[in-house]
């Protein structure tokens, strides 16, 4: 079954993306015509999710270079560097953003002997390829992880690691979808995922579109359901995974992992290799994005706290590898000690 939506698409002179801040009530696609607009879309989570942010970054670089001057090489190169820096400054945690910019930088470097017009064409082709590859990678993650799910399982997921967090098919939801497409009778509990409610707004919307049974719960309900034996597996996405397997994901994921550990429920992370950061060997090195406290004190623009109350708004937390039963990638399921499997996957 094709995705019932297209997360992001290159359209020649603009990028078309589904504005995820409007879901579930409005399914609206917007046209991104400048780097400023792409950076704004990434920062305000109109496009979000580590792999999707990576594809958006590739497309943002290619888009920004369309109007770069071709008659002045120094200006052309300066423009490229400025675009990469601007996109890299949007959100700090998802490593896919930086991996994507690095991918475009390597291409730009390799093509340095070519004419500007040719380089522009190469950047566009690379951005289009990035979107297509991400979709295939997610389908492979689904195939690698689906047998971890048993017929009759109820699975808990947190935030949204579905088709809309990627260029299609999803990571955590991709595994769930692949098991469902095998014919397994499964159900999903979706944490609402405060403060931006990616779970209630996006995961529930996606799973209903795929006819996968989903029940929305508050973030504070998960423990009680585990205590009553109503959850058999947990599968979440990731934004950055250290080489020892420590995984950064949406705030609240760590709490779910501790609860799952206590209740002896397998806790899985699903992510492409591009989310594994080879440069760090511990989750303590992952920079956690801190966002506007108004996202906590307001819901839909309505204030739900005293106007002058202090609010903490960490967008992610880190789950130590000891709490992770397996990390599902397009190359297979890595198990602790994760380094060993990661080294094998990257050597292929
Ligand atoms: C497949 S990566 C999804 C990952 O990204 C989300 O963060 P955000 O919505 O802030 O971009 C969340 O951590 C998801 O698990």
ipTM confidence: 0.98
Q: Tell how far the Cα of 47 is from the centroid of ligand 1, in angstroms.
A: 10
Please check whether residues 110 and 204 belong to one and the same domain.
no
Q: Could you give the 3-state DSSP secondary structure of residue 223?
A: helix
Residue 237, marked binder: no
Please check whether residues 91 and 12 belong to one and the same domain.
yes
Which residue in 35, 64, 30 sits closest to 47, CA to CA? 30
Atom of ligand 1 nearest to the CA of 166: 1
Please check whether residues 29 and 69 belong to one and the same domain.
yes
d(CA 54, CA 280): 19
d(CA 47, CA 62): 17
Q: Tell how far the Cα of 67 is from the centroid of ligand 1, in angstroms.
A: 31
Residue keyed to tokens 């994921």: 253
Please check whether residues 156 and 119 belong to one and the same domain.
no
Residue 1 lies in a domain: no
Please check whether residues 69 and 183 belong to one and the same domain.
no
Cβ–Cβ contacts within 10 Å for residue 169, how many? 25
Residue 173 lies in a domain: yes
- Identify the bridge partners of residue 30 per DSSP, sorted by sequence position: 17
Domain boundary among 85, 106, 139: 139
Please check whether residues 160 and 102 belong to one and the same domain.
no
Q: Is 88 exposed, middle or buried (0-12, 13-18, 19+ CB in 10 A)?
A: middle
- With a 6 Å cutoff on the Cβ, whether 52 touches ligand 1 is no
The residues assigned a catalytic role are 239
Q: Tell how far the Cα of 73 is from the centroid of ligand 1, in angstroms.
A: 38
- With a 6 Å cutoff on the Cβ, whether 49 touches ligand 1 is yes
Q: What is the SS3 string spanning 148-166?
A: HCCCCCEEEECCCCCHHHC
Host domain of residue 122: 8-139
- Identify the bridge partners of residue 333 per DSSP, sorted by sequence position: 328
Please check whether residues 182 and 109 belong to one and the same domain.
no
Number of domains in the chain: 2
Residue 198, marked binder: yes
Please check whether residues 200 and 222 belong to one and the same domain.
yes
- C-alpha to C-alpha distances, 170 to 151, 190, 234, nearest whole angstrom: 20, 15, 15
Please check whether residues 128 and 220 belong to one and the same domain.
no
| Total residue count of the chain as it appears in this document | 348
- C-alpha to C-alpha distances, 72 to 77, 119, 144, 172, nearest whole angstrom: 9, 14, 48, 46
pLDDT-flagged residues of the chain (< 70) = 1
Domain boundary among 120, 139, 158: 139
Query: What's the pTM?
Result: 0.97
Residue 242 lies in a domain: yes
d(CA 189, CA 230): 10
Q: What is the CATH number of the domain that holds 62?
A: 1.20.120.420
Residue 130 lies in a domain: yes
C-alpha 232: how far from its chain's center? Answer: 24
pLDDT of residue 5: 87
Q: Best mutation site among 97, 165, 247 for ligand 1, i.e. most ligand atoms within 8 A of its Cβ?
A: 165
Express each pLDDT in 275-297 by its tens digit: 999 999 999 999 999 999 999 99
Please check whether residues 128 and 155 belong to one and the same domain.
no
- Identify the bridge partners of residue 15 per DSSP, sorted by sequence position: 10, 32
Q: What is the CATH number of the domain that holds 175?
A: 3.40.50.10470
Which tokens belong to 169? 């098919």
Residue 2 lies in a domain: no
Residue 48, marked binder: yes
Residue 40 lies in a domain: yes
Please check whether residues 187 and 295 belong to one and the same domain.
yes
- 259 φψ region: left (φ > 0), alpha (ψ -120 to 50), beta (else): alpha
Domain boundary among 139, 174, 196: 139
Express each pLDDT in 110-138 by its tens digit: 999 999 999 999 999 999 999 999 999 99
pLDDT of residue 143: 98
Please check whether residues 133 and 149 belong to one and the same domain.
no
Residue 3 lies in a domain: no
């Amino acid at each position: 079954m094709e995705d019932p939506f297209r997360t992001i698409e290159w359209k020649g002179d603009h990028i078309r993306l589904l504005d995820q801040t409007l879901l579930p009530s409005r399914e609206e696609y917007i046209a991104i015509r400048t780097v400023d607009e792409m950076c704004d879309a990434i920062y305000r989570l109109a496009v979000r999710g580590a792999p999707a942010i990576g594809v958006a970054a590739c497309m943002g670089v290619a888009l920004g270079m369309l109007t770069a001057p071709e008659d002045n090489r120094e200006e052309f190169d300066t423009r490229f560097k400025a675009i990469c820096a601007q996109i890299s400054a949007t959100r700090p945690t998802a490593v896919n953003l930086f991996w994507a910019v690095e991918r475009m930088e390597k291409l730009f470097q390799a093509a340095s002997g070519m004419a500007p017009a040719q380089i522009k064409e190469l950047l566009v082709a690379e951005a289009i390829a990035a979107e297509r590859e991400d979709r295939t990678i997610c389908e492979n993650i689904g195939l690698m992880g689906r047998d971890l799910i048993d017929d009759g399982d109820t699975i808990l997921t947190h935030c949204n690691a579905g088709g809309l967090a990627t260029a299609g098919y999803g990571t955590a939801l991709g595994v769930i979808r692949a098991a469902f497409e095998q014919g397994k009778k499964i159900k999903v509990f979706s944490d609402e995922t405060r403060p931006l409610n990616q779970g209630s707004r996006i995961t529930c919307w996606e799973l209903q579109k795929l006819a996968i049974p989903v029940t929305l719960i508050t973030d504070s309900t998960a423990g009680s359901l585990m205590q009553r034996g109503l959850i058999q597996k947990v599968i979440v996405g990731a934004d950055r995974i250290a080489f020892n397997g420590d995984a950064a994901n949406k705030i609240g994921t760590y709490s779910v992992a501790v609860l799952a550990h206590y209740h002896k429920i397998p806790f899985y992370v699903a992510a492409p290799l591009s989310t594994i950061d080879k440069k760090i060997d511990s989750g303590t090195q992952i920079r956690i994005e801190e966002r506007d406290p108004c996202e906590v004190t307001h819901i839909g623009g309505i204030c739900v706290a005293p106007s002058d109350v202090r609010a903490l708004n960490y967008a992610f937390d880190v789950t130590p590898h000891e709490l992770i039963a397996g990390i599902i990638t397009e190359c297979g399921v890595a198990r602790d000690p994760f380094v060993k499997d990661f080294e094998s996957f990257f050597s292929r």
